[in-house]
Each structure stands twice: as structure tokens, then as C-alpha cells.
Amino acid sequence: MVMGMSSYVLIGKVCGTHGIKGEIRISSNHELKEQIFKPGFTLYFTDHKIKEIITSYRHHKIYEMVTLEGYSNINEVLKYKNQNVYVKREDLTITDYLLEDLISCEVIEDSKSLGKVVNIIHNGPNTLLEVSGIKHFYIPKVNDYIEKVDINKKQIYVKNTGGLIL
């Protein structure tokens, strides 16, 4: 694990409940949600990281719907409404890095620093890296622009960004 990386990964937020049996509606854009949202997986709720285990899962409209072990009533899960949902990084199978690991990486083109990634934005089908430096701009996370990511050195090498920096 690279220095500065949290052992917990924010994966979404509880938007509300569904029905009276304690089903929770989670909004999540996380890139590994197919690994996370399944029975038996452990989630951590609130910034106090309260451990809960998924007993059932279904996708509904734009939400991830889960029930948790030991809860069968809406009143028992209301405490999680509007709370953040986390997973442990060690519980995920990560090939290279998570999108959130790119935050604070230096963006380099032709040996020149363009700034640092300050945010990741999910814009429908696209993922954008928000970069702040001499100028503030966005780079789509696609191979047309991203040449190489060195997550250990916290550096992203880019190309063809001329048209993106206004």
C-alpha cells in the first residue's frame, strides 16, 4: 500500500431506505462495486466505521439495495441514512490502483508538471481527473490522454492535453 492511502475506501452514501424490512438504498459510483455488493461482503458505515455484513443485494434503478445481517425493520437501519459507506482496502482485489489513489498525483506532460489531481469526477460514461496547477482543467481518464500512471511515485504521465487546457 502506498504511503498516505487509507485502509478504508469510501464507496458510496446511504440515500435512504426501501420498504419496511430494513433494505438500505446506497448511491455508489465505485469502480469495483461488482466485487463489493454481494451477500457476505463487509461494509463499514459512518465515519466511525460500524461493521455490517450484507445478507442480500439487488440493483434497483440507479441504486445498490442491500439488507444487513441482524436487521429486519426499517427503524433499525434509519441511523445509517445520509451516512458514508466504506469497505476495507484489503477486502478488494485491486489490479493496479483505485481511482481515488490518483488524487494528489502530479500530472506530467513532456517532463513539465501541469499540476496535481484534486478530484475525480464521474460524468456519466466518462471519468474525469480534475487537475489544479497553473490552470484548472479536466483530463478524461482514457488512453488518448493518459500514457502511464506510476502510483508509487504519485505521478501521471499525459499526452495531447493542449486542447484541454484553456
Q: Is residue 83 part of a domain?
A: yes
Domain containing residue 139:
99-158
Q: Is residue 70 part of a domain?
A: yes
Confidence (pLDDT) at 5: 63
Q: Which is more confident, 2 or 9?
A: 9
Same domain, 53 and 32: yes
Among 44, 66, 91, the domain boundary falls at 91
Same domain, 36 and 65: yes
Confidence (pLDDT) at 110: 95
Q: Which whole number is the average pLDDT over 2-20?
A: 86
Confidence (pLDDT) at 124: 75
Cβ atoms of residues 129 and 110 within 8 Å: no
Q: Is residue 69 part of a domain?
A: yes
Q: Is residue 61 part of a domain?
A: yes
Give me the sheet containing 155-158, strands edge to edge: 136-140, 126-132, 112-123, 106-109, 155-158, 146-150
Same domain, 12 and 87: yes
Can you tell me whether residue 114 is helix, strand or coil? strand
Q: Which amino acid, 164?
A: L
Q: Is residue 12 part of a domain?
A: yes
pTM value is 0.84
Q: What's the domain count of the chain? A: 2
Confidence (pLDDT) at 28: 95
Sign, CA torsion 43/44/45/47? negative
Q: Which whole number is the average pLDDT over 21-41?
A: 96
Q: Who contacts 4 (Cβ-Cβ below 8 Å, separation ≥6)?
A: 104
Residue 2: pLDDT over 90: no
Among 91, 115, 141, the domain boundary falls at 91
Among 91, 111, 146, the domain boundary falls at 91
Same domain, 20 and 77: yes
Residue 3: pLDDT over 60: no
Q: What is the pLDDT of residues 122-150, one digit of tens each?
A: 887 789 999 999 899 999 999 999 999 99
Q: What is the pLDDT of residues 44-100, one digit of tens each?
A: 999 999 999 999 999 999 999 999 999 999 999 999 999 999 999 999 999 899 999
Confidence (pLDDT) at 126: 85
User: For position 12, which CATH number holds?
Assistant: 2.40.30.60
User: For position 145, which CATH number holds?
Assistant: 2.30.30.240
Question: What's the start-to-end Cα distance of the chain, in Å?
Answer: 35
Cell of 103: 488524487
Confidence (pLDDT) at 128: 95
